[in-house]
Chains A and B, each alone.
Chain A
């Protein structure tokens, strides 16, 4: 049994909130640079250049890449041989509070969805814990902006809809989102599981590095063709037209019921921000 202090979780979450908001993960930056090199349309080239300039300026000025510093989605991979000494959820929320204050990040969370009073410290964030064998304790912070979150969709398809139904739903969702989610986007797709589970799968798909394909060749091929089809829609950076509509796409799946085919599409923007640390 290994002990991790709750205060170490707080410190790590605070640091990850700041880092995630100021610099893109290397895979997302590389995807932007690759997209710029491959983009044939002049308007789109200019749009991508501005996004790359923005990354440099944010780093230089220690500013967040985007003013929507998001709702902090915190993922914890926790070995069952690890004991957290203290209140885990409180430690995570304290980390968010500290990180958003220290990093001059925007507080975008309201305490109640209908009465809408800002909590003033960007808490609560959303904590997802996955228990795994061993003694790993790995934290990832994904600050999720809502321009793209709002364009996400979920549908309970029927088994007969099959792969073609999933494909159509994904393309319809991206087409309907158009310029709103700040393209070029990253597309997280969940297929299978339950109503609530499929949304979690789609969110988790956004954690996968953009250069990593699904380990199952069937889904790896589906990811490749769907990404190609999305980049043939013509939406382009900012929605002003061009080849680069999506930088990456990942599908996560789970076993499901004989009667169902849940599918969820969680859209993320070009500032798909995540930062991880092991404790």
Chain B
């Protein structure tokens, strides 16, 4: 199946998605990777507000290349999501519903996904130019000192993604290879 989804999302919107489905995502997506996740969770632990609304949000694990003059963004493919595993459950508990990245997630993240009806979407690893083509605008909204790791608000149109872990806990990284091997 192919779904068109616009952020912010609700768990009801995500409930029909199944591992392997295609998603074209539009709306606002926040970028955050290693250093931004560490700072974000430190803020939350201190009881402070997140720098962007977490409820129903989509976070894209990406550190783009610098934009050329006249372009909104440089190459913008996903980074390995597993490095965010220790932070994601806390963010999901506080309302984050979509995570966009590549690579395997921990059992703790899967449990949080199932409990809160979140979804992990895969972007195509290493396809920096293809992913950038869906970005209409980008604005650094906090921690500019982090350079490529600063948090940006991206406006995206039909960002091409695949459901990797759905809200029932099905994982395409397990199912896909298994299905292929069974076909031989």
Name the A residues within 8 Å of B65 (CB-CB).
Answer: 63-64, 67, 69, 104-106
Contact of B126 among A51, A63, A108, A239 (CB under 8 A): A51
Q: Mark A residues whose CB is within 8 Å of B.
A: 41, 43-44, 47, 50-51, 53-54, 57-58, 61-69, 104-108, 116, 118, 120, 145, 147, 150, 178-180, 182, 233-236, 238-243, 269-271
Contact of A58 among B20, B63, B125, B129 (CB under 8 A): B129
The 19 sampled A-B contact pairs (Cβ below 8 Å) are: A43-B20, A54-B127, A54-B130, A61-B129, A64-B128, A66-B127, A66-B128, A104-B67, A107-B148, A147-B103, A178-B173, A179-B103, A182-B125, A234-B177, A234-B180, A239-B103, A239-B173, A240-B122, A242-B180
Give residues 150-184 of B contacting A (CB, 8 Å). Answer: 160, 162, 172-173, 175-181, 183
Name the B residues within 8 Å of A53 (CB-CB).
Answer: 127, 130
- B130, A104: Cβ atoms closer than 8 Å: no
Given contacts A105-B66, A234-B178, could you give 16 more A-B pairs where the C-beta distance is less than 8 Å? A61-B129, A63-B75, A64-B74, A65-B126, A65-B129, A67-B64, A105-B65, A106-B63, A118-B148, A145-B126, A150-B80, A180-B102, A180-B103, A239-B103, A240-B20, A241-B179
B130 CB, min distance to chain A CBs, angstroms = 5
- A182, B104: Cβ atoms closer than 8 Å: no
Contact of B176 among A43, A50, A147, A233 (CB under 8 A): A43
Assuming A53-B130, A182-B125, A270-B126, is B75 touching A66 (CB within 8 A)? yes
Name the B residues within 8 Å of A64 (CB-CB).
Answer: 65, 74-75, 128-129
B143 CB, min distance to chain A CBs, angstroms = 12
Assuming A106-B74, A118-B146, A238-B102, is B126 touching A271 (CB within 8 A)? yes
Name the A residues within 8 Å of B178 (CB-CB).
Answer: 234, 241
Give residues 85-144 of B contacting A (CB, 8 Å). Answer: 102-104, 122, 124-130, 132-133
Give residues 14-55 of B contacting A (CB, 8 Å). Answer: 20, 35
Name the A residues within 8 Å of B125 (CB-CB).
Answer: 147, 179, 182, 238, 269
Identity of the chain A residue whose Cβ is nearest the Cβ of B38 in the assembled complex: A116
- B129, A108: Cβ atoms closer than 8 Å: no
Name the B residues within 8 Å of A67 (CB-CB).
Answer: 62-65, 74-77, 79, 128, 148
**Which among B66, B71, B80, B125 has the highest number of chain A CB atoms within 10 Å?**
B125
Q: What CA separation (Å) do A235 and B160 show in the bound complex?
A: 21
Contact of A63 among B20, B102, B132 (CB under 8 A): B132
Interface residue B8 (Cβ < 8 Å from any Cβ of A): no
B34 CB, min distance to chain A CBs, angstroms = 9
Name the B residues within 8 Å of A238 (CB-CB).
Answer: 102, 122, 124-125, 162
Identity of the chain A residue whose Cβ is nearest the Cβ of B34 in the assembled complex: A116
Assuming A118-B147, A180-B104, is B74 touching A240 (CB within 8 A)? no
Q: What CA separation (Å) do A120 and B104 show in the bound complex?
A: 30
- B64, A41: Cβ atoms closer than 8 Å: no
Name the A residues within 8 Å of B160 (CB-CB).
Answer: 50
B50 CB, min distance to chain A CBs, angstroms = 22
- A41, B183: Cβ atoms closer than 8 Å: yes
Assuming A150-B80, A269-B125, is B173 touching A62 (CB within 8 A)? no
